Amino acid sequence: MTSPCQSSYPQHPSMTDTLYHSPFLKACRGEPTPYTPIWLMRQAGRYMEEYRQVRAKVSLLELCKTPDLAAEVTITAVERLGVDAAIIFSDILVLVEPMGVTLEFQKQRGPVLHTPLRSASDIRKLREVEVEEALGFVFEAIRQARAGLQPHIPLIGFAGAPFTIASYLVEGGASRNFEHTKTLMYQDPESWHALLSLISRTLVAYLNGQVKAGAQALQLFDSWVGCLSPSDYREFVLPHTRFVLERIIPGTPVIHFGTGTAALLELMREAGGSVIGVDYRVELDQAWKRLGAVGIQGNLDPCVLLADRKVIEARAKRVLDQAGGRPGHIFNLGHGILPTTPVDNVLALVDFVHTYQPRSA
Amino acid sequence: MTSPCQSSYPQHPSMTDTLYHSPFLKACRGEPTPYTPIWLMRQAGRYMEEYRQVRAKVSLLELCKTPDLAAEVTITAVERLGVDAAIIFSDILVLVEPMGVTLEFQKQRGPVLHTPLRSASDIRKLREVEVEEALGFVFEAIRQARAGLQPHIPLIGFAGAPFTIASYLVEGGASRNFEHTKTLMYQDPESWHALLSLISRTLVAYLNGQVKAGAQALQLFDSWVGCLSPSDYREFVLPHTRFVLERIIPGTPVIHFGTGTAALLELMREAGGSVIGVDYRVELDQAWKRLGAVGIQGNLDPCVLLADRKVIEARAKRVLDQAGGRPGHIFNLGHGILPTTPVDNVLALVDFVHTYQPRSA
């Protein structure tokens, strides 16, 4: 363990040599890989028959809270697809319940938080989260998934970023305009920062707990941060995301992901993360030019997987050529797989990414 | 009429000297103005009591199709707010009905097109639109609004851009992922281009008809184009938008607007328009730096108008300072006014923009 690269990323107890040298973790560290590693956001999801069978028996939240089932769907997806990393099955909102907020997933509307936070006093009522006690089911799912995965497949833990979690807490669900979130932010910055500080403290313990349970890497999902201007991001978000990322157990690669972030990429990098996840709204070569020496994950439009194999290969080729075989590219979609995606199309994509030799950048 | 500026923008018959020298039209031409002109997308809308009174009697579509009422709400908004331009009350989707598509506005869901286009044969069934016959109610509303507006207030006509109209036709309504639209685009580019060509031909006649009826400027709304990558925009959208913009009656300023366009600004400029409308996801000074010698419209976040006067003024000041008093800035929101906006906040904004002297860029 004397190479400079290894000393800057000391190995965690759960890390075996096989895992350490897997293409996914090499790419996270910016090291060359024999082929471009690929995994897909929501790879264990509704588009897959095996997943639907499990979901026929339990709700989404029950699945998240049942470690053996969460581990099962995590492992099944990797084995079915032949991707290079697993991501623990969970939802970014599992941490709002222990904060004292009721969470429900409705068929049409998605997540619904019945008591959205709209005032300073709403925010003051939130509880600090004891992650071992409240979110131990996630750690247990990670332990079981790690035990059940093939030894060369790294396991990714994840959480929602402070802004995205806050937007759900304040809006009470998904949103188009984020008007309650922004009104709180603009009108009462003190309460806003108190809310993001609370979430951030929770995230540090939650993400590190996932690493201790056996995750080899982490992804921080700031899925909705693209609704903000760069100056709002700098003032209201960056300090909190940086607080979280600076406190992750050293040596753990973190993928920092958002959508609609064409104007935010440099600021996201400033906030932290060893790999920046980008969506399809930016060209990968442009993103890399702007970001410099950092890993990049992305960025095929999930809608491409609804087209035929010829289109999928042509479009995957474009992404790979834009990455140009640079060390540090992790192939992924620009956002989660759509529920209507045919599994065969995903298999075709994985196969193509594993065999195509990109043009040099 | 010998100045170079005037000769490059010859006057249309409906253009009086007073209108020609109004701050809004000067800014459209990149000429200095005594103060920054302002108007607001959806300035005649649900946030305003006078508008709600009219809408209590008629549906949205009926309002669009009743010229005296459409003219009335157009004029009322300008007079109530003291803004520098009127925009004809209408909806970007009025042109889909004469194409043969049934349109309905539902209270919760917004626009619903009951027979979304999903195949080449669906698209072949669309009808060419005779705009005078099918959309004459818009031209009549413009004539009446022009006649009723104060003589110094320019009237803006508008339409949806080819991509945004196509996305509604293909999705059958609003969309989060635009998966049907993109699948058509990727899988059957020939049908896609046929669809956009048809829409574009209609738009040329429709927009020029609005100018002939008495609109002094136009805005092309490509509201949802920000869901595309730059390369998709270049291949699937730019040629059609350019087709439209190249055929607008010479001398008519066109504001080319989109949201989420941080990665698309240069391409939108390449497609055309004398003014580029930007949303709040880019900083105005950055946008201007990238776009060079063109007018810019924007870009206050509509959510700011839900905060108090102090916040509104501070945020409007930031926009105006970023514009730095450059000729060619038209103040607007980054997207339409939200229905929950207090009218007094809009009045405070208009007053501030009219009196504040921006720091020089």
| Catalytic residue from among A20, A91, A188, A281 | A91
Report which DSSP code applies to A177: S
B262 touches chain A (CB under 8 A): yes
Pairing of strands B110-113, B103-106: antiparallel
Mean pLDDT, chain A, whole residue set: 95
Among residues A201, A244, A205, which one has the least CA distance to residue A221?
A244
Distance from CA of B11 to the nearest CA of A (A): 38
Distance from CA of B91 to the nearest CA of A (A): 20
Distance from CA of B342 to the nearest CA of A (A): 13
Distance (Å, rounded) from C-alpha A168 to C-alpha A181?
9
The label of the residue with tokens 């807490």 reads A169
A281 touches chain B (CB under 8 A): yes
Contacts of B231 in chain A (CB under 8 A): 283, 318
Quick one: tokens of B65? 């199709």
Q: Percent of chain A scored above 70 by pLDDT?
A: 96
Taking residue B174's Cβ as centre, other Cβ atoms within 10 Å add up to 15
Residue A6: predicted pLDDT: 41
pLDDT confidence bin for A8, thresholds 50/70/90 = very low
Partner-chain contact A227 B182, CB within 8 Å:
no
Query: Looking at the partner chain, which of B177, B230, B307 has a beta carbon nearest the beta carbon of A187?
Result: B307
Residue B359: predicted pLDDT: 77
Say how many CB pairs under 8 Å bridge A and B.
98
Residue B353: predicted pLDDT: 98
Say if residue A7's pLDDT is above 60. Answer: no
Residue B14: predicted pLDDT: 77
Provide mean pLDDT across the span A116-143.
96
Provide mean pLDDT across the span A301-309.
97
| Catalytic residue from among A42, A143, A146, A326 | A42
Helix axes A179-187, A189-213, angle to 10 degrees: 120
Q: Sign of the CA dihedral A227, A232, A233, A239?
A: negative
Distance (Å, rounded) from C-alpha B342 to C-alpha B49?
10
Query: Which H or E element spans position A137?
Result: helix A136-148
Taking residue B339's Cβ as centre, other Cβ atoms within 10 Å add up to 12
Helix axes B189-213, B238-246, angle to 10 degrees: 20
Distance (Å, rounded) from C-alpha B42 to C-alpha B338?
8
* 8 A C-beta contact, residue A258 and residue A264: yes
Distance (Å, rounded) from C-alpha A252 to C-alpha A211?
8
Partner-chain contact A183 B315, CB within 8 Å:
no
Among residues A229, A43, A203, which one has the least CA distance to residue B315?
A229
- Residue A52 a catalytic site member: no
The string of DSSP codes covering A269-306 is HHH--SEEE--TTS-HHHHHHHH-SSEEEEEE-GGGGG
At residue B297, the 3 state secondary structure works out as strand
- Residue A42 a catalytic site member: yes
Q: How far apart are the first and last CA of chain B?
A: 31
Residue B33: predicted pLDDT: 96
Distance from CA of A301 to the nearest CA of B (A): 9
Q: Which amino acid is at B136?
A: G
Distance (Å, rounded) from C-alpha B247 to C-alpha B33?
28
Distance (Å, rounded) from C-alpha B28 to C-alpha A250?
54
Residue A107: predicted pLDDT: 85
B255 touches chain A (CB under 8 A): no
Partner-chain contact A231 B186, CB within 8 Å:
no
Task: Tell which of B167, B175, B179 to mutate to test the A interface (max A CBs under 10 Å).
Answer: B179
Give the residue on B whose Cα is nearest the Cα of A314: B186
Phi first, then psi, for residue B86 (nearest 5°) are -100, 150
For residue B47, what are the CA distances in angstroms to A343, B37, B50, B73? 46, 22, 9, 13
Phi first, then psi, for residue A218 (nearest 5°) are -135, 150
Residues of chain B with pLDDT under 70: 1-12, 361
Contacts of B317 in chain A (CB under 8 A): none
Distance (Å, rounded) from C-alpha A25 to C-alpha A6?
12
Q: Sign of the CA dihedral A259, A262, A267, A270?
A: positive
Query: Looking at the partner chain, which of A183, A230, A282 has a beta carbon nearest the beta carbon of B306?
Result: A183
B183 touches chain A (CB under 8 A): yes
- Output b/e per residue, B90-126; b: 16+ Cβ within 10 A: bbbbbbbbbbebebeeeeeeebebeebbbeeebbeeb
Residue B5: predicted pLDDT: 40
B308 touches chain A (CB under 8 A): yes
Say if residue A83's pLDDT is above 50. Answer: yes
* 8 A C-beta contact, residue A180 and residue A112: no
A263 touches chain B (CB under 8 A): yes
Between positions 23 and 82 of B, the ones with CB within 8 A of A are none
Residue A104 bridge partners (DSSP): A112
Among residues B245, B248, B327, B253, which one has the least CA distance to residue B20?
B253
Give the residue on A whose Cα is nearest the Cα of B174: A176
B233 touches chain A (CB under 8 A): no
Distance (Å, rounded) from C-alpha A19 to C-alpha A85?
10
Contacts of A235 in chain B (CB under 8 A): none
Helix axes A179-187, B309-323, angle to 10 degrees: 90
Phi first, then psi, for residue A60 (nearest 5°) are -60, -45
A116 touches chain B (CB under 8 A): no
Give the residue on A whose Cα is nearest the Cα of B227: A281
Contacts of A282 in chain B (CB under 8 A): 229-230, 263
pTM of the model: 0.95
Provide the annotated active-site residues of B. Answer: 42, 46, 55, 91, 168
- Output b/e per residue, A196-235; b: 16+ Cβ within 10 A: bebbbbbbbbbbbbbbbbbbbbbbbbbbbbbbbbbebbee
Tens-digit pLDDT profile for residues A130-181: 999 999 999 999 999 999 999 999 999 999 999 999 999 999 999 999 999 9
A108 touches chain B (CB under 8 A): no
Outline where chain B has alpha helix (H).
Answer: 4-8, 17-20, 23-28, 49-55, 60-65, 67-81, 120-124, 131-134, 136-148, 162-171, 179-187, 189-213, 230-232, 238-246, 265-271, 284-291, 309-323, 343-355
Q: How far is CA A229 from the centre of its chain?
A: 22
Query: Looking at the partner chain, which of A177, A286, A338 has a beta carbon nearest the beta carbon of B338?
Result: A177
Task: Tell which of A163, A175, A179, A340 to mutate to test the B interface (max B CBs under 10 Å).
Answer: A179
The better pLDDT of the pair B302, A293 is held by: B302
Residue A66: predicted pLDDT: 98
Partner-chain contact A303 B179, CB within 8 Å:
yes
B338 touches chain A (CB under 8 A): yes
Taking residue B10's Cβ as centre, other Cβ atoms within 10 Å add up to 12
Residue A14: predicted pLDDT: 77
Distance (Å, rounded) from C-alpha B261 to C-alpha B229?
10
Q: Sign of the CA dihedral A280, A282, A284, A288?
A: negative
Q: Which amino acid is at B232?
A: D
* 8 A C-beta contact, residue A46 and residue A176: no
Residue A323: predicted pLDDT: 96
At residue B198, the 3 state secondary structure works out as helix
Among residues A89, A94, A3, which one has the least CA distance to residue A54?
A89
A282 touches chain B (CB under 8 A): yes
Tens-digit pLDDT profile for residues A18-49: 999 999 999 999 999 999 999 999 999 999 99
